[in-house]
């Protein structure tokens, strides 16, 4: 069965990997991409998404979202993802343009075009999803499934000591999304809850130079040996054009994680969300009421799961608590490797 899929991204190295995974998956039909400001500004996110579609030779509509979070000035993460958001990678030039409607409208249109069928991922700040929910409060009922990469549950943050990046950039939007979900069912029990993957689970998905070399082999490509001893910014020599872009992007991401004390590896947060969107059995989840801290002087942007139902609220999320990274990487490498091989054979 092929699922229509909509992706809201702030591309971003791992966002790009998530989009490539979706394009590589025969069980997914990527019907639209919402660009959201986050890792880089929204114009650059659009350029990255359009350039990626050019590289992958697919025509998926890309929309541009709000330039700023709902109520707080935008922060970007060039230190993590590189000056343009894709590490050291350069994407092909393209004359492709974003849609004339914005990202919030793209969410609403995609949901109405595939009522009850659309599977969605939101792997950037939730600004545009919150705006879409304001325009169409029934949006949750129109979706088949939503997977959000955001938050950190009983786990340290990666932006503040307690807050994860996507939630931290636009905490009000995240709060609106989590608090509006159950209202869409107007008193009835929700038919499905968003699957929320926080750092507590996405940081189990660690890409390494060895796994990247396996991906190149699967693609029939040469690969570039990589280690923390390399000169910074050494460019890929891979023979396959997609593998070369992924290697150049990942090298920057490896260097960032290394400098952050994590080792010469990189967390593939957003590709896990993409894989779970197509197959929720990849993760173990627990239902809980969750919310976002908006006013704490030290804890703004923190996500809190009420595991013991102290608040007495209905669950509004299925929170990821367990994953087998090997199952994820086997699938990622098989799918993206075959896709890169097909692209390479036509270049
Ligand atoms: C999230 O933040 C971004 O930098 C990544 O793309 C991912 O979506 C992880 O905290
Ligand atoms: Ca992201």
Enumerate domains of the chain plus CATH numbers: 3-206+263-345 (3.90.245.10)
How many residues make up the chain in this entry? 347
Residue-wise pLDDT for 131-146, tens only, equals 999 999 999 999 999 9
Residue-wise pLDDT for 181-233, tens only, equals 999 998 899 999 999 999 999 999 999 999 999 999 999 999 999 999 999 99
**pLDDT at residue 19 in the model:** 99
Note residues around ion ligand 2 (Cβ under 5 angstroms).
10, 12, 15, 123-124, 270
Residues with CB under 6 A from ligand 1: 12, 14-15, 39, 77, 80, 123, 149, 158, 164-166, 269-270
The kind and range of the H/E element at 8 are strand 3-9
Q: Chain-wide mean pLDDT for the chain?
A: 97
Q: Tell me which of 192, 229, 269, 346 is the catalytic residue.
A: 269
Tell which one of 9, 13, 15, 149 to mutate to probe ligand 1, the residue whose CB is within 8 A of the most ligand atoms.
Answer: 149
Tell which one of 9, 10, 150 to mutate to probe ligand 1, the residue whose CB is within 8 A of the most ligand atoms.
Answer: 10
Based on the residue annotation, tell me whether 81 is a catalytic residue of this protein. no
Q: Give the CA diameter of the chain.
A: 59
How far is 209 from 228, CA to CA, in rounded Å?
A: 10
CB 146 within 8 A of CB 197: no
Residue nearest (by alpha carbon) to ligand 1 atom 10: 165
Residue 346 has pLDDT above 80, yes or no: no
pTM of the model: 0.98
Give the residue among 197, 214, 319, 220 at the shortest CA–CA distance from 267.
197
Residue nearest (by alpha carbon) to ligand 1 atom 2: 165
Point out the ligand 1 atom lying closest to the alpha carbon of residue 81. Answer: 4
How far is 143 from 19, CA to CA, in rounded Å?
A: 19
> Quick one: residue 133, left, alpha or beta (phi over 0 = left, psi -120 to 50 = alpha)?
alpha
Question: Among all chains, which residue has been given the structure tokens 């102290």?
Answer: 310
């Amino acid at each position: 069965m092929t699922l229509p899929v909509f992706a809201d991204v702030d591309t971003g190295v791992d966002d790009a990997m998530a989009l490539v995974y979706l394009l590589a998956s025969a069980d997914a039909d990527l019907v639209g991409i919402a660009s959201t400001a986050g890792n880089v500004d929204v114009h650059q996110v659009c350029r990255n998404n359009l350039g990626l579609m050019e590289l992958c030779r697919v025509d998926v509509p890309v929309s541009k979202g709000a330039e700023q979070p709902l109520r707080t000035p935008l922060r970007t993460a060039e230190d993590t993802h590189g000056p343009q958001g894709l590490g050291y990678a350069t994407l092909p030039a393209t004359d492709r343009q974003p849609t004339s409607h914005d990202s919030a409208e793209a969410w609403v249109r995609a949901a109405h075009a595939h009522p009850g069928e659309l599977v969605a991922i939101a792997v950037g700040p939730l600004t545009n999803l919150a705006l879409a929910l304001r325009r169409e409060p029934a949006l949750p009922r129109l979706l088949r499934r939503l997977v959000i990469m955001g938050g950190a549950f009983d786990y340290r943050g990666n932006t503040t000591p307690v807050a994860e990046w996507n939630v931290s950039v636009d905490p009000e939007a995240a709060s609106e999304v989590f608090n509006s979900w159950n209202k869409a069912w107007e008193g009835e029990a929700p038919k499905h809850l968003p699957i929320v993957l926080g750092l507590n689970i996405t940081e189990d998905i660690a890409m390494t130079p060895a796994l990247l070399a396996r991906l190149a082999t699967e693609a029939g490509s040469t690969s570039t040996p990589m280690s923390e001893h390399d000169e910074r910014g050494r460019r890929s020599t891979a023979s396959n054009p997609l593998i070369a872009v992924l290697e150049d992007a990942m090298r920057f991401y490896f260097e960032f994680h290394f400098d952050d004390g994590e080792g010469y590896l990189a967390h593939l947060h957003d590709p896990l969300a993409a894989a779970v969107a197509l197959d929720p059995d990849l993760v173990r989840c627990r239902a809980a009421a969750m919310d976002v801290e908006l006013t704490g002087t030290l804890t703004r942007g923190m996500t809190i799961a009420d595991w013991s139902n102290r608040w007495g609220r209905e669950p509004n999320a299925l929170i990821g608590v367990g994953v087998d990274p090997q199952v994820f990487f086997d699938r990622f490498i098989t799918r993206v490797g075959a896709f890169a091989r097909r692209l390479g054979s036509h270049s």
